[in-house]
Structure 1
Amino acid sequence: MEADIPPLIALENVQFAPEATPVLRDISLRASERRIAIVGRNGSGKTSLARIIAGLVLPDEGRVRIAGVDVGKDRRAALKVVGVLFQNPDHQIIFPTVEEEIGFGLTQLGQSKAEAARNVTAILERFGKSHWARAAIHRLSQGQRQLVCLMAVLAMRPKVILLDEPFAGLDIPTSLHLERVLDGIDATLLQITHDPATVQHYDRVVWLDEGSIRQQGAPAVVLPAFTAAMTELGGVDDLSDLAG
């Protein structure tokens, strides 16, 4: 029965309070839609939640399962089900050339060097970037480095791709190109953003406010409420009230 099928993304009573400072409070979420957004202002806990969903940080309480995998306890299995595209590509790039960067994750999955090399070639060909294989990453633009990171994630074929403010710092043409690429990806996208314009076409929006889920549902319902609240907050004259 359909009701018995576990959700792709399952968070149960997640709490996170580094250095005794509450950041996430009792977050529960069950979702299987193909395009899910988590919106919120700066300081709402979005990035912390993203890192917990990716298994990079353990919650103080609660459980996170992606495609049935407890991502905080089984890192090898987590690599197979969830990939991450960070806001700043330099925060995840660790190798000097494109082929080395893409190939690293594949070897972490247990692929042989030969198999990883074949898959690197395949993903570069898919994007028409075969000539990038031995390119020095530091010579690429930020948008090009972001594409390298995305290719590295896609090569690992995760079920969920977590996007943490993927358009931040990109110019308009590069953002539009990246958006077209993301729209064509055959995987569930979970985008963390403060910009409602980038997720209007998504299936579900979750509004995170001060570490808790304030509202969730269809974009046509949640985004106007979120935008109205942010507009009202922006009308406050005291800048100390805007810190977040």
Structure 2
Amino acid sequence: MSSPLQPMSFEFSNVSLEMEGKAIITDLSVRADEHRIGVVGRNGSGKSTFARLFCGLVKPTGGTVRVDGIDVYADRAAALSTVGILFQNSDHQIIFPTVEEELAFGLLQKGWNKNQASEKVEAVLESFDKTHWAKEAVHRLSQGQKRLVCLMAVLAMEPKAIVLDEPYSGLDIPTQMQLARTLEAIPTMLVHIAHDPSHLADCSRILWIDEGRLAMDGPPLKVLPAFDARMRQLGGNDDISDLAS
């Protein structure tokens, strides 16, 4: 499944987002072309909103988000072939009752005919040695298996970048390890969003988002220890209401 790395870049230019009068992302500017990029932050810091902005799923209040030069919100047709997302909760991503229907959906949305989509679905399932899953009812699968179905559906679209929003959430350790090996072999840019810094140690670059702003940007050995120290400092605070914010 592995193949040469694909050159890619993305750019947030003075991006802000307000929802119901509240600032979620504030004047965020960053450009990156590393193959593996981690995004870390507390719950509620704006990480998942960053993911949705990256994929063009929400419109910025200000600024632009470009992936491979494409304004992903303004040009939705091009965005479908440029960036994909693996949501934290697979049940929020899966729409169709069977695996093959789920994998075919995005391809049909891109304008492929049913025969073309069917051939592509079969090829993707075969690449993961999961052809026997084609007619399987998705609701019968485990959480780890559902996560793999979602990943296969994204990969079928052949995006140039994939956003992973807490991909290991709810998975046991063996399943996390299996998924990590699968992700490692993917040649596209991966933007891995997590609150646990241990999941991002293999990234080339880390973006730390705090209260919707870029708190720190740099290599893992610089950013992750600083983030961990700050989280431990907050954890030592006796005001649990602050931690819940």
Scaled to the shorter chain, the TM-score interval is over 0.9
2:172 paired residue number: 171
Superposition CA RMSD, Å: 1.0
Question: Normalising by the residue count of structure 2, what TM-score does the alignment of the two structures yield?
Answer: 0.96
1:195 paired residue number: 196
Unaligned runs of 5+ in 2: 1-6
Matched residue SS, 1:122: helix
Distance 1:82 1:151 in 2: 14
Shift of 1:209: 0.6
1:216 paired residue number: 217
CA deviation map 1:102-148 (0-9, x unaligned): 00001111111111110000000000000000000000001000000
Matched residue SS, 1:95: coil
Matched residue SS, 1:10: strand
1:146 paired residue number: 147
Q: Does 1:81 align with 2:82?
A: yes
Shift of 1:188: 0.3
Counterpart amino acid of residue 60 in structure 1: T
1:124 paired residue number: 125
1:4-19 alignment to 2 at 5 Å?
A: 8-19=9-20
Q: Could you tell me whether the CA contact under 8 Å between 1:39 and 1:196 is conserved in 2?
A: yes
Q: Does 1:184 align with 2:185?
A: yes
Matched residue SS, 1:23: strand
Counterpart amino acid of residue 243 in structure 2: L
Q: Could you tell me whether the CA contact under 8 Å between 2:54 and 2:65 is conserved in 1?
A: yes
Q: Could you tell me whether the CA contact under 8 Å between 2:8 and 2:189 is conserved in 1?
A: no
Q: Could you tell me whether the CA contact under 8 Å between 1:207 and 1:222 is conserved in 2?
A: yes
Counterpart amino acid of residue 227 in structure 1: D
Identity of aligned residues (%): 56
Distance 1:83 1:57 in 2: 14
Q: Could you tell me whether the CA contact under 8 Å between 2:204 and 2:220 is conserved in 1?
A: yes
Distance 1:236 1:153 in 2: 41
Matched residue SS, 1:115: helix
1:3 paired residue number: none
1:230 paired residue number: 231
Q: Does 1:66 align with 2:62?
A: no
Q: Could you tell me whether the CA contact under 8 Å between 1:35 and 1:188 is conserved in 2?
A: yes
Counterpart amino acid of residue 201 in structure 2: Q
Shift of 1:238: 1.1
Shift of 1:7: 6.5
Number of aligned pairs? 239
Question: Normalising by the residue count of structure 1, what TM-score does the alignment of the two structures yield?
Answer: 0.96
Query: Which aligned runs of 4 or more in structure 1 are off by greater than 6 angstroms?
Result: none
Matched residue SS, 1:14: strand
